[in-house]
Amino acid sequence: MKTALSTVLVLGLTAATAVSAAIITVPLDYLEFPEHRNPESLTKRYFQKRAALSTNIPLTNVENDVIYTVPVGLGTPAQNFNVAIDTGSPVTWVSLTTCTSTGCASVNKFNCAASSTCQAAGQNFSANYVSGQGVSGDYYIEEYTLGQLNFQAVMGGVTVNSAPLPTGVDGIMGLWFYGPGSNIPILNRLYNTTALTQNMIGIYLTPSTSTSNTAPGGEITFGGVDTTRFQGQISYTNCVSSRPWTIPVAAMKVGSTNIAVGTSVAAIDTGTTAMLMPKAVSDQINQAIPGAQLANTQSGPLWLIPCSGNTVTTITFGSFTASIPYTSLAMQSTKTATTQGDFCVSAAMFPSGTTATIDAWLIGDAFLKNVYSVFDFGTNTATGGRIGFAALGSGGSTVPATGSNGNSNNNNNSNASSAAKNLRSITALQAMAVVAVAASVCLAGL
């Protein structure tokens, strides 16, 4: 079955029409998803995954910095969807018109029969949470439209959805890059074409200043970076092998307290709102904040900190050190009035639930909206690429900072001659994610 599926995918994908290299900047929106603001949700997420042309297309920030979405067209003619950008997921999916689950009730649905380019891949897919929530359906090969960028890639068509997204979000844009090769993540597909000027994406997230459900949320650039969004040079850190978009944590400091990070690694995840780390690390971070309290809630114990404060928090990846503003660490949308003042949920969370030990961190938007981030899949490709950070501002340089890890040739566009190169089946990719979770449990000694 794996061999047959691989053949179907190769035949479908290699039939795509070649396009000229491009740099596409897409605006983002933001949307709030309250369920993402607690340790139980983040624990579930941890185990769920382990210049030729330029145009502007925005991101949307949905409900106070919780989900950032981008518009995408699927099919011919294009059917339009608003999907969450997610560097922590391999599959891009939307619901099909045949989905009758509650989670499909209020979203735009894809109609394969209405698209002249829709091809069934003959293989089902699923994305599951440890709670039992998740989505499942079938893989399709379809045309994507992102601004002026057009390419053919795999998408998941959901027929069963027990994990509904917030109103205004139709699905997920999976932005994993799998170093050994796969045709499932769209970045792997773009790597095997000449569609992009450079094999990288640049992400600029903006915090919400609005009380409305949605607001402008920044932008995502495919094929390069937007130098008007950052200052100075980009500092890169190589990804660790077999863990998509995961890099070593060099240091962390809260006030005058140096946090013991050891040999920790962190998945840099645009689909995560806060930050998840081992309990000992979370405790050390929050205990360094004046007034912090450990509270018991329905979703498990979590740290509450005063909503206002001036404790300086920094985190270092490679040679880049970034400050996390106090208002990002104290999640302002969770503000609760008490007799001791206003308290907010701390973004530095630890796992909650039946499995309370992890061996990697999740670093989400609480950090990412304070930096310009680059996910480079054209350098150090075999081990999963590299991640770059730069300070927000303007007039940035595309020359890597001194001391950055990896090949400094950012114009690497060593695309494969055909989609068959480094092919991995859908089943193999899903198995890799399961193996990564199992390895985490073993290393934790459970």
**Distance of alpha carbon 132 from alpha carbon 294, whole angstroms:** 28
What are the counts of helices (DSSP H) followed by strands (DSSP E) for the chain?
Answer: 7, 27
Catalytic residue among 65, 86, 226, 376: 86
Single-letter residue type at 162: S
For the question of residue 365 being annotated catalytic, the response is: no
Contacts of 4 (CB under 8 A, 6+ apart): 122
Q: What is the 3-state secondary structure (H, E, C) of 396-441?
A: CCCCCCCCCCCCCCCCCCCCCCCCCCCCCCHHHHHHHHHHHHHHHH
CB 102 within 8 A of CB 310: no
Start-to-end CA span in the chain (Å): 34
Token pair in block for residue 227:
């130098």
Report which secondary-structure segment, H or E, holds 126.
Answer: strand 119-128
Residue keyed to tokens 């210049």: 51
- What are the backbone angles phi and psi of residue 385, rounded to the nearest 5°? 85, -155
Tokens at residue 278, please?
């081992």
Q: How far apart are CA 429 and CA 67, in angstroms?
A: 25
269 included as an active-site residue: yes
CA triple 23-14-128, angle to 5 deg: 80
The helix (H) or strand (E) run that includes residue 4 is helix 2-13
Out of 29, 269, 365, 376, pick the active-site residue.
Answer: 269
Residues across the chain: 446
Which residues are the active-site residues?
86, 269
